[in-house]
Amino acid sequence: MDLKEAYIHALCKELEIRQSYLQGTSVETIYFGGGTPSILNAGDFDKIFNTLSHIYGMATCKEITLEANPEDLSVDFLQTLSGFPFNRISIGIQTFDDGMLKRLKRRHNAAQAFVAVDNCCRAGFNNISIDLMYGLPEESLEMWMNDLSQALSMHPDHLSAYCLTYEKGTPLYEMLQKHQVKKTDEDTDLHFSILLTDTLTKAGYEQYEISNFCRPGKHSQHNSAYWEGIPYMGCGASAHSYNGTSREWNISSLTSYLSGIQTNQRNFETEERDTNTCYNELIITSIRTRQGLSLKRLEAVFGEKYLTYCLHMAQRYMEDGKLKKEGDYLRLTQKGIFVSDGIMIDLLCVKK
């Protein structure tokens, strides 16, 4: 048994042994992500979907997404996908600048990104999402404007755009430490963010979350579930799960993950959440969405003390037009979206 075959076997076994995790809740969305699920073949997908159908049932499933890189979305691979119930494709394009793609160690170029989207459309997929990044090393406003223009020419149904973060242990972080790349400053990133929102809004996209835009009715149902606090189960190495009470995540080591599943001793960690942690999670997941934070829900779950604290901390942001209170909801304004991280940090309840 090769490594991929062993992983698929372990994944299906984990789905079986964790049948009770969602407590009988109907499965509404499925997301194949976290790496390169596009290396799977028809036989692999067949095993996974058979397991899902047999253990959980798929009659209530509304959205099934596959995450893929542009270079993997060939005509043949999409032909394979069309034999399964996928109805959404998420493509990690990142940028259309070929020089930047090389610096980021990506295997595709801009031309391949266009071919990938065209292949998806020809294969009958009518819900296509693309991912972009901004704040790339030495990126200029002109480069970002070009990326947005190129992206809009694809007419995607959904677009996610994230500001690049330099994470410890990554090659890009090491390059930054060695002064081989130069990070964009906060003012530049703010201008990128403003341009992003203005450009996509004018093009008819709804900004339903800080980093996510869609055509009407094309929001990501799977990601929205995270922000709404709906329980979910993640299977595979490093996968995270939430049952409404606690969070847990599988070990990141592939060999440890495989051996744990094989011996019926799954390697995972659990986080029990105290009241402050639960309150903070509600703030972070709610404020970042267009709907905003339900103050009634906040009071019902956490009591008047937390509601009073939240409104007190929000007051100065409401006075300077970065937050607004509309009926039951506390929402970011357009002005507030650009400084949302700072606002959310101030609303959090920190132990002293």
CATH of the domain at 82: 3.30.750.200
Look up the CATH number of the domain holding residue 307.
1.10.10.920
Tell me how far apart the alpha carbons of residues 185 and 5 are, in angstroms, rounded to a whole number: 45
Tell me how far apart the alpha carbons of residues 152 and 112 are, in angstroms, rounded to a whole number: 16
Looking at residue 26, what DSSP letter applies? Answer: P
Quick: pLDDT tens for 173-217: 888 888 888 888 888 988 999 999 999 999 999 999 999 999 999
Q: What is the mean pLDDT of the chain?
A: 93
Residues 195 and 340 grouped into a single domain: no
Residues 223 and 285 grouped into a single domain: no
State the pLDDT confidence band at 1, using cuts at 50, 70 and 90.
low
Residues 60 and 148 grouped into a single domain: yes
Residues 315 and 173 grouped into a single domain: no
CB 72 within 8 A of CB 48: no
Domain-embedded: residue 242: no
Domain-embedded: residue 264: no
C-alpha closest to that of 254 among 66, 65, 35: 35
Radius of gyration of the chain (CA): 21
- The total of structural domains in the chain comes to 2
Domain-embedded: residue 295: yes
Residues 111 and 50 grouped into a single domain: yes
Residues 38 and 99 grouped into a single domain: yes
Residues 171 and 287 grouped into a single domain: no
Residues 32 and 163 grouped into a single domain: yes
Residues 292 and 160 grouped into a single domain: no
Domain-embedded: residue 19: no
Residues 172 and 45 grouped into a single domain: yes
Domain-embedded: residue 21: no
Residues 82 and 209 grouped into a single domain: yes
pTM beyond 0.75, yes or no: yes
Domain-embedded: residue 255: no
What residues make up the domain containing 329? 275-347
Tell me how far apart the alpha carbons of residues 87 and 85 are, in angstroms, rounded to a whole number: 6
Quick: pLDDT tens for 146-157: 999 999 999 999
Domain-embedded: residue 270: no
Domain-embedded: residue 45: yes
Last residue of a domain, one of 193, 208, 227: 227
Hey, which bits of 61-188 come out as E strands? 63-68, 88-94, 128-134, 158-163
| SS3 state of residue 226 | helix
Q: Which residue has the higher pLDDT, 183 or 253?
A: 253
pLDDT value at residue 316: 95
DSSP code string of 171-203? HHHHHHHTTSS-PPPHHHHHHHHHHHHHHHHHT
Specify the length of the chain in residues: 352
Last residue of a domain, one of 165, 199, 227: 227
Quick: pLDDT tens for 298-343: 999 999 999 999 999 999 999 999 999 999 999 999 889 888 999 9
CB 15 within 8 A of CB 55: yes
Residues 214 and 342 grouped into a single domain: no
What percentage of the chain carries pLDDT values higher than 90?
82
CB 36 within 8 A of CB 247: no
